[in-house]
Chain A
Amino acid sequence: MYRIRNVALRSMQDFAKLSVACAFIMICCRVCGNDLTPLGYSASGELRFQQVLSNGVVLYEEIWQFTLDEDAIGKWKLEIYTTFPDKSLPVSVTNIISCDKTNIYSVDYSSDIVETPIGGKPKVVPLKTESYAAVISAGCYPIDESSEVGVIWLAFLGGDYLDPDKTQTRFPNLLVPDPRRDPRAWDCDLKYSLIRSTNHWLISSGEYILQRAYIRKSAVDYPEMDEPIGERQIETFKEAFSRYKNLKSASTVTSDYHLDETTNLNGRLLPTRFHSNLGLEDKSDVSDSFICVVSNVAISATTDLMPPLRGTIRVEDRRMRFKDGRTFRKDVTYTLSRNVWPTDNNDPRMSSLTAARPPQQIIEQSSNPQKFIIVKVLFTIVLLAPLAILVVKWFRAKRN
């Protein structure tokens, strides 16, 4: 009994010592700045896209101001602000994109719109009603956004989606302007090197290599690609597929990414300067690149990272996408009834909306509808009718 009491006492003493030691280590870490409790951050800066000729002349330039917030558990919000590149059309748009680790929610806010009257010049028109467009996509890759969002995502967040034990893997190329319509987004390997930053990873350099062997026949073979609508899009898609398929080399570097400078915020490395070169497969005189400078980085304790909602929000919900090789549904559209994002993927209201919009037959696969063939036959008969009448008349005249 005495022995058991001694063992228990010793265990309690060991536990007390261990607790004191842990508290001491935590205090030391806080004093040194290496906080073990993860904190969020907020980074803001300027992203510049440039098209430059080989002689250094800038052909085109577009600038975005952005603020990226990431919380302790990896949810993030990117606010990206741009003005219309045409200076005669002073329209500014704020795009707010958030990821709750399940879906991506995106909304565009602007006080004016650019309207192009039929046969006329584009002009700036104030928004008559507070109505804005939003997109919800499944997953955490911003594939429904353009390349400016893709490059920021790659710099700050992309490293956490890569395996540190590998140096090359097939990875969505978010540096293409429209991943839903460009097979390059899905046919690339990313050759990369990472830098460790506490329990996060940053990409220090990366190269997107288009692998000819990955390229399939059409968009039907790509689950994340949209199907073309109308002949113009079908031809554009076909052209893109044949262009990539006919690349001379089996592997072609299409774009790269370089982390130039970082800063240490509370033990976590964050990019402060990075750049990316685009269209490297194109051997023309024009080179496209993104250059980003982060001007402000701060610790942030913000927890609500969903995009704020105002006015009437028209949602294109791409969580209900469907593609099975024969049929395709791009999205389900609706207006938000309450000013709350529909974050629940199993919301019963979504089922009824989905049922109301069944997937459509993919155009390339569609057989000629019966009505179309009937009209074609009728058209041919009517077209040739005068000829038939003339022939009959000629025979009658010959007989008489």
Chain B
Amino acid sequence: MKPNALIRFYIGSAVAIFCFSIVAKVAAHYTYAELRLHDPFLRFLTVWQLLLVSIIIEALAIGIISANYYKSPNIAIGCVLWLTLLLILYRIGFLFSPDHTGTICKCFGGPGGIVGKFSDTLAWLLLIYLFILGAVTALWSSMSTYSRHVSHKKCSIA
């Protein structure tokens, strides 16, 4: 099944954003003492370990999304939505954490990283974009699948 323009655009932009996020994480300042501290949300991991785990998860997600781009775009959208929701929940949890010290300094390299002091705002904007457009695309995709399914049934009855 060939995905339509909106789905193509959404999946493409999601892959680009996740790739950028990986590059930013890899380019983070690993010498910062803060990276040796425990993460305020996932306390069993240090910030450094969390960076590594998130790089691996994002890379795996990119692999799955790319593999399903033509074959099964619904799986690709689901994967993007899953990762986006995970990142949003992490950020909300970080804000509610009793230990949090202010800004998240991990994603997109953090202050002093490749994006700089606006990294937090940028990350929120991109995640909101991925989530809202993802929800719309998923809805559209499932509706078109449903209508195709109904018309296919009608054809077979006729």
A interface with B by C-beta (< 8 Å): 118-119, 229-232, 234-235, 363, 366, 368-369, 371-372, 375-376, 378-379, 382-383, 385-386
Report yes or no: B38 in contact with A379, Cβ–Cβ below 8 A. no
- Given the interface pairs A118-B112, A119-B112, A372-B96, the reply to whether A231 lies near B89 with Cβ below 8 Å is no
- Given the interface pairs A118-B112, A232-B34, A375-B92, the reply to whether A382 lies near B98 with Cβ below 8 Å is no
Report yes or no: A230 in contact with B89, Cβ–Cβ below 8 A. no
Report yes or no: A231 in contact with B96, Cβ–Cβ below 8 A. no
Shortest CB distance A15–B (Å): 74
Nearest opposing residue in chain B for A369, CB measure: B96
Beyond A230-B99, A383-B86, A386-B82, 10 additional pairs, beta carbon < 8 A: A118-B117, A230-B100, A231-B99, A232-B37, A232-B101, A372-B98, A375-B93, A375-B96, A376-B93, A382-B86
User: Contact mask B59-102 → A, CB, 8 Å, 1/0?
Assistant: 00000000000000000000100100110011011001111111
Residues of A within 8 A of B116 (CB): 118-119
Report yes or no: A382 in contact with B82, Cβ–Cβ below 8 A. yes
Q: 9 nearest interchain CB pairs?
A: A230-B101, A375-B93, A119-B112, A372-B96, A379-B89, A231-B99, A371-B96, A366-B98, A118-B117
Nearest opposing residue in chain A for B43, CB measure: A231
B134 within 8 A of A: no
Residues of A within 8 A of B3 (CB): none
B interface with A by C-beta (< 8 Å): 33-34, 37-38, 40-41, 79, 82, 85-86, 89-90, 92-93, 96-102, 111-113, 116-117
Give complex CA distance A379, B97 in Å.
Answer: 13
Which of B41, B86, B93, B100 has the most A CB atoms < 10 Å from its CB?
B93
Residues of A within 8 A of B117 (CB): 118
Shortest CB distance A174–B (Å): 28
Give complex CA distance A174, B93 in Å.
Answer: 41
Report yes or no: A231 in contact with B82, Cβ–Cβ below 8 A. no
Give complex CA distance A234, B38 in Å.
Answer: 11
Report yes or no: A372 in contact with B37, Cβ–Cβ below 8 A. no
Report yes or no: A118 in contact with B111, Cβ–Cβ below 8 A. yes
Report yes or no: B82 in contact with A234, Cβ–Cβ below 8 A. no
Report yes or no: B98 in contact with A229, Cβ–Cβ below 8 A. no
Give complex CA distance A386, B37 in Å.
Answer: 29
Report yes or no: B98 in contact with A385, Cβ–Cβ below 8 A. no
Give complex CA distance A234, B90 in Å.
Answer: 22
Give complex CA distance A229, B38 in Å.
Answer: 15
Shortest CB distance A239–B (Å): 12
Shortest CB distance A142–B (Å): 28
Nearest opposing residue in chain B for A231, CB measure: B99
Nearest opposing residue in chain A for B116, CB measure: A118
Residues of A within 8 A of B101 (CB): 229-232
Residues of A within 8 A of B79 (CB): 386
Q: Which one of B33, B98, B111, B113 lies within 8 Å of A363 (CB-CB)?
A: B98
Report yes or no: A234 in contact with B93, Cβ–Cβ below 8 A. no
